[in-house]
Chain A
Amino acid sequence: MARTLAHRPGHPGTRITAARSTAARTTAALVTVAVAALTGCSAIGTDNTPKADASASSSGGGKVVLVTHDSFALSKDLIAQFEKDTGLTLEQRAPGDGGELVNQLILTKDAPLGDVVFGIDNTFASRAIDEGVLEPYASPALPAGADTYAVDGKSSLTPVDVGDVCLNVDHEWFAEKGLAEPTSFEDLAAPAYKDLLVVTNPATSSPGLAFLLATIAKFGEDGWKDYWTSLRANGLKVDAGWEDAYYSDFSGPSSEGDRPIVLSYASSPPYEVPDGGTTAPTGALLDTCFRQVEYAGVLAGAKNPEGARKVVDWLLSHDVQADIPESMYVYPVDASVALPASWTTFAPQPAHPATLDPAVITKNRDAWIQQWTDVVIG
């Protein structure tokens, strides 16, 4: 096989020169990348959080770490104002969503991920409390009336916002077909509404879980499985996530699907109204809602518990409460805060949304999801 070497055409000198300039060019390119990495063009160089503040946790100054979900958003000005008022630097981390976030807090309770948490909802609240990840704190800023959402008597969790998971309907579709819109849970199982509903899986989606809980609240421990059996027989479609159901299967104006009833939120319709529009092309079915309450709490073992409490107070402050609807698409817990104009017109809140005791949810959640899977998917 020595042939391979001997038979190679071309002048050896040329080859080596070519090869070396090859290497030189690649070397130059790699050096450029490396230099770019070591100078401005990198993530390391742009962290504007002061590095040395990890140990500073004494009163007032230093850093406070907010653990939250990836839907967390507030106006930049509000955060800047908070930092200015308190002298704290607010660092945000979003390792997970919904139940995942709670499970992460449980896993890390010996070495907490931060000082304060925002985004635990009522479907996982008891679990977080039972596992001891929270340090009770009764905020003086809690608005009147918000105490109805208290989970335990110790103020382990402070309610910050509420959102209603409701079925949404495509008004245009029903008008075109000349079919009356459904209004109740029972309607959805009626033959007239066959193959029209798309919901999400409670095992993989938090609105899906809320809707399952709404049916349990409505039909009771004994009746909910029969209800889902009838939904399944009536052509129910189940998607893994909200975006899949809303944008792929729903027939609404921003979607391309063929199902006019979708699981979403009471606050969704305003976002389908075109600029300057006076009527909403979609609407929420207010008798099919489940109320999700989102809480904040001080984490047990926080490095900066005082800063954590300030964050909880701040989340209840008027300015933050007023910012919550547009930033996070949920209603503020403070009933005295004015809602955006489009919300008052197109996103009325349900008068009597379904609720369940958080302790009951925690006790049964996994079993319910398993039973639901057997009935609907299995």
Chain B
Amino acid sequence: MVTLPAQLARHGRPSPARWVGWGLAVGVPLAFLGLFFVLPVGTLVLRGFVTSGVVDLSGFAEVFSRPHTWRIVGLTLGQATVGTALAVVLGVPGAYLLYCREFRGRDALRAFVVVPFVLPTVVVGVAFRSLLAPSGPLGFLGWDGTFAAVVCALVFFNYSVVVRTVGGFWAHLDPRAEQAARSLGASPWRAFVAVTLPALAPAILSAASIVFLFCATAFGVVMVLGGMRYGTVETEIWLQTTQFLNLRAAAVLSVVQLVVVGAVLALAGRARSLRERALQLGAGRPARRSARLALRGPGRRSGDVVAVAITAAVVVGLLALPLVSILVRSLRTPTGWGLGNYVNLGTTGGANTLTVTVWEAALTSLRIAVDATTLAVVVGSLVALVVSRRPRAPRARRAIRLLDALFMLPLGVSAVTVGFGFLIALHRPLGLDLDLRGSPLLIPVAQAVVAVPLVVRTVLPVLRAIDTRLHDAAAVLGASPRQVLALVDWPMTARSLGLAVGLAFAVSLGEFGATSFLARPDRPTLPVVIFRLIGRPGQQNFGMALAASVILALMTAAVMTLAERLRAGTGGEL
């Protein structure tokens, strides 16, 4: 469309420095992912296919001849599809309300909706069960141990992913197209469906693909709420690997998982690339000024009313109910109501249940989270930057799409496969005399592997939506490629980085799956401590577990509020 000298300047002969720069931007993340994800997973899966030195693929026939396999594949897809659809349908109004409208308490609400995302599944499982069990307040629904309970929990965990990913994007969307549609006579609903929704599509697809991966690999909630009857590919991999050490079956199922995940990513990528041309973000200023919520009077917007109604129902009915039940029960002590459980967090439990106090564990978690966040943001930003480029050569475009999908994989592969892979692959990795398995660094690294996709998905839609003509204009005006990055891409990306930092930090604080394989009993993280407390009998241990969960929730909310501040400061006024 635009063939200006600028284009020539951009795609002209790159200087050696540029080669080195982009080489590093691609090489560093690839090395990271290769060593800490592809190598471990590949080693474990290969071991399942090689029997005494010979490749043996008979496992496929064996696994697929069992009707059980088809059942769990069906259940996995069903659960993930329904969970994702619900999270998107409920999350989009929430994104609008929390990111495009102003009202009192909005920042607090934004922080609140993220809390479920990091809560340990074991605690959430107990909270949901206590509500849904026949003796619980919602027992009359008859949802205990059903598909509905599992789906509710999946939406509970992933609602905030949709709200934040879509909301962060929506806030920067140029509102004038929708305004134009309205002034040309379109109804608010029509203007939303015909103009805004297509523009939001990249962010919605981004969010949906992440949520789908989370849902398809959910483990804890499926086990606790669904029991064995709702087993998924993920729970089956866990069973075959950890309990039966049937690596053949596990490897086949891992391949199934990879195929499903790859297909979803390919679909999402295709849909995104069809859309991404269609939109533009405002440069250097918030294109959409948040407007006050209008629920009454002459300026009443029906869209606002719908968004408020849906969001209130979700926040109160789905998010707050289990959280409040945790909070209330954390205040129940053996001697009545009070803060006794919180006082006990400064101890190692009544009968030395723990080796450290809960506060010490919280500090360990924070320290690890700082490392994990740094790693995830550096690697994730590099990936997002590379993937946001649009080279003209088709081969380069394909390579970039592949890179994009590659870094999403950690969300779609079982934590058990990664964890067991670590144990067999990180002893002398690549022939180096270095046993990484005992390294304390491995915990933040494992958490960063999970957080990188979230960073990429948060930053990328913003980077991609930057009008390429801004690059051209800057280049025409004489800016070097580096200056273009520094003056055009960076200021706009900076807004979404605050969010990315917050999400990465939250993921690290709550991560349990991969961490549990690397845990050190003498220096546990907060989720590990909670897991241990809830694994012991007695009111005191249970009370402490819930109090510690509340602390974890508060830490998360505080971190997210800080990240919001960073964003508010940066997204700022003119």
- Whether the Cβ atoms of A272 and B494 lie closer than 8 Å is no
- Distance of A296 Cα from B334 Cα, bound (Å): 36
B469, A103: Cβ atoms under 8 Å? Answer: no
Q: Is A278 an interface residue (CB 8 A)?
A: no
CB distance from B152 to the nearest CB of A (A): 16
Q: Does any Cβ of A come within 8 Å of B540's Cβ?
A: yes
A-facing residues in B446-482 (Cβ within 8 Å): 467, 469, 473
Partner of A10, one of B130, B176, B285: B285
Interface string of A220-250 (1 = CB under 8 A from B): 0000000000000000001111111011110
CB of A321 within 8 Å of the partner chain: no
CB atoms of A254 and B538 under 8 A apart: yes
**A327 close to B129 (CB less than 8 A):** no
In the complex, which residues of chain A have a beta carbon less than 8 angstroms from the beta carbon of B535? 71, 242-243
Whether A44 sits at the interface, judged by CB under 8 Å, is yes
Taking the closest CB of chain B, its distance from the CB of A170, in whole angstroms, is: 12
Given contacts A108-B423, A239-B227, contact A5 B498 (CB under 8 A): no
CA of A73 to CA of B349 in the docked complex: distance in angstroms? 12
Kindly state whether residue B125 has any CB partner on chain A within 8 Å: yes
A196 to chain B, nearest CB (A): 13
A107 touches B135 (CB 8 A): no
Q: Is A37 touching B570 in the complex (CB atoms < 8 A)?
A: no
- Asked if residues B536 and A43 are in contact (CB atoms below 8 Å), the reply is no
A218 to B244, CA, bound (A): 25
Evaluate whether A111 and B227 lie within 8 angstroms (CB atoms) in the complex, with A18-B572, A100-B242, A253-B539 already known.
no
B174 to chain A, nearest CB (A): 7
B227 lies within 8 A of A41 (CB): no
Q: B531 CB to closest chain A CB, in angstroms?
A: 7
Is the pair B423, A19 in contact by a Cβ cutoff of 8 Å? no
Q: Which B residues between 109 and 167 are near A, CB-CB below 8 angstroms? A: 122, 125-126, 129-130, 133-136
> Contact between B371 and A44 (Cβ–Cβ < 8 Å)?
yes
B516 touching A70, Cβ below 8 Å: yes
Tell me if B306 is interfacial: C-beta within 8 Å of chain A.
no
Question: Does B397 have its Cβ within 8 Å of any Cβ on chain A?
Answer: no
Asked if A16 CB lies within 8 Å of chain B CBs, one says yes
Kindly list chain B residues whose C-beta atoms are within 8 Å of the C-beta of A377. 227-229
Segment at the B interface, from A153-161, A256-264, A311-319? A256-264
- In B547-569, the 8 Å CB interface with A consists of 566, 569
If A108-B423, A204-B243 touch, whether A373 touches B228 (CB-CB below 8 Å) is: yes
Q: Contact at B495–A22, with CB atoms within 8 Å?
A: yes
Smallest distance from the beta carbon of A290 to chain B beta carbons, Å?
A: 17
Q: Tell me whether A43 and B435 are in contact (CB under 8 A).
A: no
Encode contact with A along B90-110: 1 for CB under 8 Å, 0 otherwise: 000000000000000000000
Instruction: Assess whether A256 is in contact with B242, with CB atoms less than 8 Å apart.
Output: no
A356 at the A/B interface (Cβ < 8 Å)? no
Q: Which residue of B lies closest to A45 (CB)?
A: B367
B280 adjacent to chain A (CB < 8 Å): yes
Q: Is B355 an interface residue (CB 8 A)?
A: yes
Q: Does B542 contact A (CB under 8 A)?
A: yes
Contact with B along A281-324 (1 / 0, CB 8 A): 00000000000000000000000000000000000000000000
Contact of B419 with A95 in the complex, beta carbons under 8 Å: yes
- Give a binary string over A96-126; 1 marks a CB under 8 Å from any B CB, 0 the rest: 1001100110111001010000000000000
Also in contact, A93 and B520, with CB within 8 A (given A26-B494, A36-B370): yes
> How many pairs of residues, A versus B, come closer than 8 Å at their CB atoms?
246
Determine whether B440 belongs to the interface, using a CB cutoff of 8 Å to chain A: yes
Asked if B521 is an interface residue, CB under 8 A from chain A, the answer is yes
Chain A's closest residue to B228 (CB) is A377
Q: Which residues of chain B come closer than 8 Å to A243, judged between CB atoms? A: 122, 126, 534-535
Instruction: Tell yes or no: A371 within 8 A of B by CB.
Output: no
Contact of B537 among A10, A26, A254 (CB under 8 A): A254
Given the complex, which residues of B lie within 8 Å of A248, measured CB to CB?
A: 125-126, 129-130, 133
Q: Does the CB pair B228–A240 fall under 8 Å?
A: yes
Q: In the complex, A103→B517 CA distance in Å?
A: 13
Does A26 contact B227, Cβ atoms closer than 8 Å? no
Q: Is the CB of A43 within 8 A of B284?
A: no
From B428, B467, B497, B538, A272 is in contact (CB under 8 Å) with B538
Question: Residues of B contacting A274 with CB < 8 Å?
Answer: 334-335
Q: Is B259 an interface residue (CB 8 A)?
A: no
- Answer whether residue A76 sits at the interface, using C-beta atoms and an 8 A cutoff: yes
Given A25-B566, A70-B531, CB of A272 within 8 Å of CB of B423: no
Closest-by-CB residue of B relative to A29 is: B566
Q: A10-B574, A22-B491, A238-B227 are in contact. Are A5 and B467 (CB under 8 A)?
A: yes
Number of interface residues of A (CB under 8 A): 89
CA distance in complex: A238, B228 (Å) = 9
With the chains together, A256 CA to B174 CA distance in Å? 52
Q: B359 within 8 Å of A by Cβ?
A: no
Task: Let me know if A42 and B371 touch, CB within 8 A.
Answer: yes
From B134, B352, B494, contact of A327 by CB (8 A):
B352
The answer for the CA separation of A46 and B363 in the assembled complex, in Å, is 11
Write the nearest CB–CB distance from B264 to chain A, whole angstroms. Answer: 27
Cβ-based interface call for A72 (8 A):
yes
Whether B424 and A108, one on each chain, are in contact in the complex, defined by CB atoms closer than 8 angstroms, is: yes
Q: Is the CB of A70 within 8 A of B521?
A: yes
- Most B CB contacts (10 A, CB to CB) among A201, A244, A249 go to A244
Assess whether B420 is in contact with A73, with CB atoms less than 8 Å apart. no
Given contacts A70-B521, A94-B521, A99-B243, contact A15 B283 (CB under 8 A): yes
Would A107 and B420 count as touching, CB distance under 8 A?
Answer: yes
Instruction: Give chain B interface residues in 525-547, CB to chain A under 8 Å.
Output: 528, 531-532, 534-543
Q: Answer whether A33 and B501 are a contact pair too, CB < 8 Å, given A43-B440, A107-B420, A247-B542.
A: yes
User: Is the beta-carbon distance between A37 and B371 smaller than 8 angstroms?
Assistant: yes
Min Cβ gap A91→B in Å is 7
With A5-B467, A111-B428 given, is the CB distance from A271 to B536 under 8 Å? yes
In the assembled complex, the CB of A343 is this many whole angstroms from the nearest CB of chain B, namely: 10
B573 nearest in chain A by CB position: A18
In the complex, the chain B residue whose C-beta lies closest to that of A18 is: B574
Bitwise interface map of A from 140 to 167 toward B, beta carbon under 8 Å scored 1, else 0: 0000000000000000000000000000
Please name the residue on chain A nearest to B129 by beta carbon: A248
Closest chain A residue to B486, Cβ basis: A23
Given contacts A248-B133, A275-B335, contact A107 B521 (CB under 8 A): no
Question: B521 to A366, Cβ gap below 8 A?
Answer: no
The contact of A326 among B352, B355, B373, by CB within 8 Å, is B352
- A residues within 8 A CB of B351? 271, 326-327
In contact, B469 and A5 (Cβ under 8 angstroms): yes
Within 8 A of B (CB), among A1-39: 1-2, 4-5, 7-8, 10, 14-16, 18-20, 22-23, 25-27, 29-30, 33-34, 36-37
Could you tell me the distance between the alpha carbons of A61 and B423 in the complex, rounded to whole angstroms? 26
Interface string of A54-83 (1 = CB under 8 A from B): 100000000001001011111110010000
Question: CB within 8 Å of A: which of B217-261?
Answer: 223-224, 227-229, 239, 241-245
CA distance A1 to B176 in the complex (A): 13
A26 and B126 in contact, given A14-B574, A92-B521, A377-B228 (Cβ under 8 angstroms): no
Known: A4-B174, A248-B129, A327-B352. A100 touches B243 (CB 8 A): yes
Nearest to A329 among chain B residues (CB) is: B536
A258 to B176, CA, bound (A): 58
A240 partner, pick from B227, B519, B574, beta carbons under 8 A: B227
13 contacts between A and B (CB under 8 A): A20-B487, A25-B494, A26-B495, A26-B498, A26-B566, A26-B570, A33-B373, A68-B521, A92-B521, A93-B519, A111-B427, A244-B126, A327-B351
Q: Identify 4 new A-B residue pairs, CB closer than 8 A, beyond the known A5-B473, A74-B355.
A: A2-B469, A43-B444, A257-B133, A271-B536
Please report B residues at the A interface, Cβ cutoff 8 Å: 122, 125-126, 129-130, 133-136, 174, 176, 223-224, 227-229, 239, 241-245, 280, 282-285, 334-335, 350-355, 364, 366-368, 370-371, 373-374, 377, 419-420, 423-424, 427-428, 435, 437-438, 440-441, 443-444, 467, 469, 473, 486-487, 490-492, 494-495, 497-498, 501, 516-522, 528, 531-532, 534-543, 566, 569-574
Nearest 6 Cβ contacts at the A-B interface: A271-B538, A254-B539, A19-B284, A19-B491, A26-B494, A248-B129
